[in-house]
Chains A and B, each alone.
Chain A
Amino acid sequence: MSDLDKFRAEVRTWLDENCPEEMRDGDITPENQCWGGRQWEFQSEAQKIWFERALAQGYTVPTWPKEYGGAGLSAEEAKILDEERQAINARKPLSNFGISMLGPALLAYGTHEQKAQHLTAIARGEIRWCQGYSEPGAGSDLASLKAKCEDKGDHWLINGQKIWTSNADISDWIFCLVRTDFEAPKHQGITFILIDMASEGISVKPIVLISGHSPFCETFFDDVKVPKSYGDNNPSVVGEINRGWDVAKNLLVHERGMLGTMSPLRGTTGPESLGKFAAEKIGLDATGRLDDPALRQRIAQAELDNWAYDLTVARMTDEANAGNGLGAKSSMLKYVASELTKCGTELRMDIEGTTAATIGEDGIEYGSLANNWLYNRAYSILGGTTEVQFNIISKRVLDLPSQ
C-alpha cells in the first residue's frame, strides 16, 4: 500500500469515527456553515463537536503548517481528505474568508509572528475576517483606491470608505487596501493592512440590494488609529509598505479560485437536474421532449456547459497538482462559473414562470428563488467583473499587447 493509500484509509476511518451524522447532510450554504469569530454561536451541538474534533486534528485548515493550527497536509493529501469528506457528504468543519483568502496571502507574505497570531486565530475559528478592497470610486479600477493611510509615527491614521465589505457588520477584523503614497503611480502607493474592526472610528452600514437584504456593507473609516505593530516582528502591514498590490493580486487569485470551484448551475439550493425539474413543472410532448422547445434547448446547453466547466475545474486541478500552476486561468473559471450561476436561476425563474415572480405581501423572501435570482446578478460583477477577467486573460494568458 502506498503512503497515499494508507493516508486515505486513515482519513476514512477518522471521518467515519469523528464526523457526527447531522454534519453529513451535503453541501454547506452560507446559512448552515460554520463561520467562527468572536460573535459566533454554534447552531447545533453536532456543529460544535465536528468543529472541535476537526480543530484538534488540524483539519479546519488542513494544508496549513502545524505550528499555525493546520495539519501540514500536502496538496495530494488534502485532495484525498476532500474526496473522502465529500464521499460521506460531510460539511466542512469551518469556512470563512480568513481561510480562503487572507490565509493564503499571509502564508506567502506574512512574517512568522503575523502568521502565529492571525493564522492560528483563523484556524481556531476565533476571528472572522472581512475584506476591504472596493471603494465607491474604485470598482473595476481597484488600483485607483483612495482610502488614505498616513504615517503618524507610532501609528497609522486611516480615513476613507470601503464598499461591498461582505459581512463587515459581523466580522472581527478587516484586511484592507489603503493608499500610503498619493504621488506614486497608482499601483505603487497601495499598502495591505490588517485592522481590528473594534477600532474607534470604524462604522458599518449594510447595503440593501435588488434582492433585498444582503451580506454586503459599506465600511467607513473616520480618523481610525491603527498600531504600527501588534508585537515584535508583527506589523499591521502585510508585505512591504506601498507594495500591497502584489499581496492583493495574490489574494485575488485565491478569491477567483474559490469562486471558480462552486457548483455553478445548480448553486447550493437548485435541483440536481434542471431538465427533470422542468419536465415535472412543464410536462413532455408526445415524443418525450420537454413541451417548450426553446426552453429545452437553453436548459440542455446550460447543463452541457456546466458539465464541461466541472471537468475543466477537475482538469486544471490535476494540472496544478502535476506542477503546472493555474495562474491567470483562474479568471476563466471565475467568468464561466459566474455566468452559469446566473443562468441556473434565470432558467428556474423561466421554468416556474409567474409562480416564481410572485413574491407576496412581505416582499422578496430571503432564500427564495427570486431572492437568489436577483442576488446572482452580482456574480459577474463581484471579485472582478467579467470584463476585468477578460482583460486579465488577454494580458496574462494570451499575452496580447497593451494600448
Chain B
Amino acid sequence: MPLILNEEQEMLQDAAKGFLAEKAPVSAFRTVRDNKPADGFCRQLWTEMAQMGWAGIIVDETHGGSGFGYVGAGVLAEEMGRNLTASPFFSTSVLGATAIQKYGTEKQKDENLAAISGGETLFALAVDEGPRHKPDHIAFSAEPAGNGFILSGTKTFVADGHVADKLIIAARTSGDEGDTAGITLFLVDANAPEITRVHTPMVDSRNAADIAVEGLEVTGDDILGELDGGYAALEGILSAGRAVLSAEMSGSAQQVFDVTTDYLKEREQFGQKIGSFQGLQHRAAQLATEIEMMKSAVLKSLKDLDQDFDNAGMTCCLAKAKTGQVAQLATKEAIQMHGGIGVTDEYDVGLYFKRVHVAQQMFGDAGFHSDRWARNSGY
C-alpha cells in the first residue's frame, strides 16, 4: 500500500478545504470563542458537516456512514486543524464511532451508528481521572449489584463532555488502580440524574467537562466490549483518537508554518526581508524537515488503522509522539519568528499555540508516548 492518498481521498481533501474555507475559517472559531455559546460550537455547522457525510466518516455505509475509514477521518481532521474548526467531530465521529463500531454489540451498533452518522447523537469518552493522561490508572468504580453495577466516581478533561448525549466511561470492575485487567467500558445516558457535568473552559477555547457520577445503576447490556477486559477496547479507541488527533495537530502545524514562511517573505527589517537571514532560514528549514517526518508518521498510523486496526497501536503512538513535539515546535517558532505581533490576540498564531498545547495533553504527550514505545520495545 503506497504511503500517499488515493484519488478518492484527495477529492475528500479538496472538498474539506473548500467547505471549511467558506463555513468554518479561523474567524468562525474566534466568533465561537468570543460569544461563548453554551454548546461551545456552532450547531448549524455540525448539521452541515453531518450532511456532507463527515459525522459518519468512519462508519460503514450499512449504518448510514460514508465508509472513508481513518485515512478519511484524518484528511478531515487535518483540514480542521488548519482552520481550528470547533465541532464534536473528534469526540463523536472518531471516539464514539470507533467505540461502537469496533467493540459494540449488534444492538449497540443499530442504536447508535446511524445516529452518529446523522449528527444527531453526541458522544464523549471519559477516561482520565487526573491532570496527566494515565489510561491504566482507573479508580472510577463499578460495584456489582444485583444483575448489574453501580457506577460512582469522577472523570476530568472529558472532551465535549458537557454537550454529549452519551458517555463512554472507563470504570474499574475488578483489580486495583494501575491494573490494566479489571477495567470495563460502560455506555451510559449522559443526562441521567446521577451524573453531574461541569463545563471546564480550556485555554484553547474548546470544551471539556469534569464529570461526577454518584450511584448510577447500569446493567450488563450497558457494557461496551468485555467485562474486565475493557482495556483492550480502550486502547483501540485511544489509538484511533491519537491518530486522528495527530492529523489535526499536523494540520495546525502545517498551517502555522505556512503562515510563518509567508511572513518571513514579507516582513522587512534592517532594509531586508527577514526571511533572507540565515538565522531564521535554518530554523525554518529544520522545522520544514520535522514537519515532513511528522506527516509520514501520521499517514502511516491512519493507514494502519484501516488495514489492521488491532495492531496499529504502536504507529499511533509514534504519530502522537512525533506530532506532540513537532506541532509544539511549529507553534512556538511561529510566535517567535513573528516577533511582537505573534503574541497579540489579534494574530492567529497564538490560537494554534494554545490548541496544540491542549491537544498534546490529550491521550498522552510526547513523553508519555516515548515511554510507551520503550516499554513496548522491552526497555
A binding-site residues for B, Cβ under 8 Å: 273, 275-276, 278-279, 284, 288-290, 296-297, 299-301, 303-305, 307-309, 311-312, 314-316, 318-319, 321-322, 329, 332, 335-336, 387, 389-391, 393-394, 397-403
Q: In the complex, A292→B349 CA distance in Å?
A: 38
Q: Are A276 and B378 within 8 A (Cβ)?
A: yes
Q: Which residues of B contact A397 (CB under 8 A)?
A: 285, 288
Partner among B2, B282, B367, B369 whose Cβ is within 8 Å of the Cβ of A318: B2
> Size class of B's contact patch?
35 or more
Partner among B276, B288, B318, B374 whose Cβ is within 8 Å of the Cβ of A308: B318
Q: List 14 A-B contacts (CB under 8 A).
A: A278-B379, A297-B367, A305-B322, A307-B318, A311-B299, A312-B292, A315-B4, A319-B4, A332-B288, A336-B289, A387-B282, A390-B285, A393-B289, A398-B288
Q: Are A311 and B286 within 8 A (Cβ)?
A: no
Chain B residue, CB-CB nearest to A334:
B289
Q: Which residues of B contact A399 (CB under 8 A)?
A: 261, 265
Q: In the complex, A357→B73 CA distance in Å?
A: 50
Chain B residue, CB-CB nearest to A295:
B379
Most buried by B among A288, A315, A322, A336: A315
Knowing A300-B371, A301-B370, A390-B281, say if A400 contacts B264 (CB, 8 Å).
yes
Partner among B4, B261, B377, B378 whose Cβ is within 8 Å of the Cβ of A400: B261
Q: In the complex, A297→B285 CA distance in Å?
A: 25
Query: Which residues B278-333 have CB closer than 8 A to chain A?
Result: 278, 281-282, 284-286, 288-289, 292-297, 299-300, 318, 321-322
Q: Are B374 and A311 within 8 A (Cβ)?
A: no
Knowing A393-B288, A401-B276, say if A305 contacts B296 (CB, 8 Å).
no
B360 to chain A, nearest CB (A): 15
Q: Which residues of B contact A398 (CB under 8 A)?
A: 261, 281, 284-285, 288
A159 to chain B, nearest CB (A): 34
Q: Are B288 and A318 within 8 A (Cβ)?
A: no
Partner among B293, B295, B378 whose Cβ is within 8 Å of the Cβ of A305: B293
Q: In the complex, A329→B370 CA distance in Å?
A: 27
Partner among A296, A332, A387, A402 whose Cβ is within 8 Å of the Cβ of B379: A296
Knowing A303-B377, A402-B276, say if A318 contacts B3 (CB, 8 Å).
yes
B115 to chain A, nearest CB (A): 36
Q: Which residues of A contact B261 (CB under 8 A)?
A: 398-400
Q: Is B132 located at the chain interface by the 8 A CB criterion?
A: no
Q: CB-CB contacts of B337-379 with A at 8 A, as 1s and 0s?
A: 0000000000000000000000000000001011101110111
Q: Are B377 and A276 within 8 A (Cβ)?
A: yes
Knowing A284-B379, A288-B375, say if A322 contacts B286 (CB, 8 Å).
no
Q: In the complex, A284→B374 CA distance in Å?
A: 12
Q: Is B272 located at the chain interface by the 8 A CB criterion?
A: yes
Q: In the complex, A307→B318 CA distance in Å?
A: 8
Q: Which residues of B contact A315 (CB under 8 A)?
A: 3-4, 295-296, 299-300
Q: Are A275 and B2 within 8 A (Cβ)?
A: no
Q: Are A314 and B289 within 8 A (Cβ)?
A: no
Q: Is B273 located at the chain interface by the 8 A CB criterion?
A: yes
B74 to chain A, nearest CB (A): 14
Q: Is B275 located at the chain interface by the 8 A CB criterion?
A: yes
Q: CB-CB contacts of B5-36 with A at 8 A, as 1s and 0s?
A: 00000000000000000000000000000000
Q: Which residues of A contact B378 (CB under 8 A)?
A: 273, 275-276, 279
Partner among A273, A276, A390 whose Cβ is within 8 Å of the Cβ of B286: A390
B binding-site residues for A, Cβ under 8 Å: 2-4, 261, 264-265, 272-273, 275-278, 281-282, 284-286, 288-289, 292-297, 299-300, 318, 321-322, 367, 369-371, 373-375, 377-379
Q: In the complex, A387→B278 CA distance in Å?
A: 10
Q: In the complex, A54→B294 CA distance in Å?
A: 38
Does more than half of chain A's interface fall in helix, strand or loop, or is it mixed? helix
Q: Are B318 and A273 within 8 A (Cβ)?
A: no
Q: Which residues of A contact B264 (CB under 8 A)?
A: 400
Q: In the complex, A322→B7 CA distance in Å?
A: 11
A112 to chain B, nearest CB (A): 35
Knowing A297-B370, A400-B281, say if A279 contacts B379 (CB, 8 Å).
yes
Q: Which residues of B contact A387 (CB under 8 A)?
A: 282
Q: Which residues of A contact B281 (CB under 8 A)?
A: 390-391, 394, 398, 400
B317 to chain A, nearest CB (A): 8
Knowing A276-B379, A289-B375, A402-B276, say if A314 contacts B370 (CB, 8 Å).
no
Chain A residue, CB-CB nearest to B321:
A304
Q: In the complex, A146→B261 CA distance in Å?
A: 36
Chain A residue, CB-CB nearest to B274:
A401
B254 to chain A, nearest CB (A): 13
Q: Are A322 and B4 within 8 A (Cβ)?
A: yes
Q: In the complex, A400→B295 CA distance in Å?
A: 22
Q: Are B297 and A403 within 8 A (Cβ)?
A: no
Q: Which residues of A contact B295 (CB under 8 A)?
A: 312, 315
Q: Which residues of A contact B300 (CB under 8 A)?
A: 311, 315
Q: Can you list the 9 inter-chain pairs with the closest CB atoms, starting with the nearest?
A: A393-B285, A394-B281, A311-B296, A275-B379, A390-B285, A318-B2, A300-B370, A315-B3, A308-B293
Chain A residue, CB-CB nearest to B367:
A297
Q: Are B282 and A390 within 8 A (Cβ)?
A: yes
Q: In the complex, A301→B278 CA distance in Å?
A: 27
Q: In the complex, A278→B375 CA distance in Å?
A: 13
Q: In the complex, A284→B375 CA distance in Å?
A: 11
Q: In the complex, A297→B3 CA distance in Å?
A: 28
Q: In the complex, A390→B373 CA distance in Å?
A: 30
Q: Which residues of B contact A304 (CB under 8 A)?
A: 318, 321-322, 369-370, 373
Knowing A332-B288, A399-B265, A400-B284, say if A309 contacts B275 (CB, 8 Å).
no
Chain A residue, CB-CB nearest to B294:
A308
Q: In the complex, A318→B5 CA distance in Å?
A: 10
13 extra interchain contacts, Cβ-Cβ under 8 A, other than A311-B293, A329-B292, A394-B282?
A275-B374, A279-B378, A289-B374, A300-B370, A304-B322, A304-B373, A308-B294, A319-B4, A322-B4, A390-B286, A398-B261, A398-B285, A400-B261
B5 to chain A, nearest CB (A): 10
Q: In the complex, A118→B370 CA distance in Å?
A: 50
Q: In the complex, A278→B281 CA distance in Å?
A: 37
Chain A residue, CB-CB nearest to B322:
A308
